[in-house]
Amino acid sequence: MAKPNVVNKEDLIKYAKECLVDKGIEKFTLRAVAETAGVTQGTIYYHFRTKEQLLLDIVQNICETSWQEISQRNDHMIDHAIASAKSRCSYDSHFHKLFFSLVASSFNNVEIRGKLAEIIITENEALTGNLSNLWTDTPIEGVSLETWGILLNAIVDGLAVQALLQKDFPIEKTYKEFAQLISGLNNLVRKEDK
């Protein structure tokens, strides 16, 4: 039996994530989300005009939750950020399949492109803010903290693409060396501070 329309948007996003994991992006529909949530399709349409809007809200929710968790960790913040990115990096990553499917859709949909741009800008700003808390100055002269934030975000997204496309992508080795790269940059900053 369908639940009354007292389900809020945040709860529907949780149900939609559950549905996405259970059914995969290929079988993900607003009807499937309604069934998972135990509500009518009308309830879903009340909160989300289209499947794409719901998918964008899922991506935004995952990103915001992740950045909130990372930002609250003053100790080993970068290690936590790398571990968080690594946990979503796999051949079968639902998050990255969703994210890159939306990127592909955005080439023909200005609204999706704008929303994804907002999400990426927010991620870049969060990374830059976290780096400015970690580094007193840029590790390499001429490369701003803002650019470091963009570059590190691009590295994480690039690793995700490779992991999605290569079943045997060396995730463990690559993320271990990525952490080593960050450690090397931290050492450069510390040397400059002395």
Range of the domain at 10: 1-48
Q: Determine the pLDDT at residue 149.
A: 93
Say how far residue 192 (Cα) sits from the centre of its chain: 32
Q: Determine the pLDDT at residue 74.
A: 59
Contact 160, 96 (CB under 8 A): yes
**DSSP per residue, 105-156:** HHTT-HHHHHHHHHHHHHHHHHHHHHHHHH-SS-SSTT--HHHHHHHHHHHH
- Report d(CA 135, CA 142) in Å as an integer: 15
Tokens of 126: 């969060």
110 and 75, same domain (yes or no): yes
Give me the number of domains the chain comprises: 2
18 and 98, same domain (yes or no): no
Average pLDDT along the chain, 194 residues, taken 10 residues at a time? 67 90 83 93 91 87 76 69 89 86 87 89 89 88 95 95 97 96 89 68
Residue of 184, 172, 180, 18 whose CA lies nearest to 87? 172
76 and 152, same domain (yes or no): yes
15 and 70, same domain (yes or no): no
68 and 40, same domain (yes or no): no
94 and 78, same domain (yes or no): yes
Using one digit for the tens of pLDDT, what is the confidence trace for 67-109? 777 666 655 677 888 888 899 899 988 888 888 888 888 898 8
Q: Determine the pLDDT at residue 194.
A: 62
Contact 152, 135 (CB under 8 A): no
Q: Among 31, 48, 65, which residue terminates a domain?
A: 48
- Report d(CA 143, CA 149) in Å as an integer: 10
- Report d(CA 86, CA 66) in Å as an integer: 12
90 and 103, same domain (yes or no): yes
76 and 41, same domain (yes or no): no
Residue of 148, 157, 156, 151 whose CA lies nearest to 175? 156
31 and 122, same domain (yes or no): no
Phi-psi category of 24—alpha, beta or left, where left has phi over 0 and alpha has psi -120 to 50? left
Q: Determine the pLDDT at residue 145.
A: 95
- Report d(CA 31, CA 169) in Å as an integer: 35
The residue type found at 144 is S
- Report d(CA 15, CA 18) in Å as an integer: 5
Q: Determine the pLDDT at residue 73.
A: 62
41 and 59, same domain (yes or no): no
Rounded to the nearest 10°, the torsion over CA 108, 114, 119, 120 is: 80
Q: Determine the pLDDT at residue 1.
A: 45
112 and 144, same domain (yes or no): yes
66: domain CATH number?
A: 1.10.357.10
- Report d(CA 175, CA 172) in Å as an integer: 5
Supply the pTM of this predicted model.
Answer: 0.79
1 and 38, same domain (yes or no): yes
Q: Determine the pLDDT at residue 71.
A: 66
Q: Determine the pLDDT at residue 60.
A: 85
7: domain CATH number?
A: 1.10.10
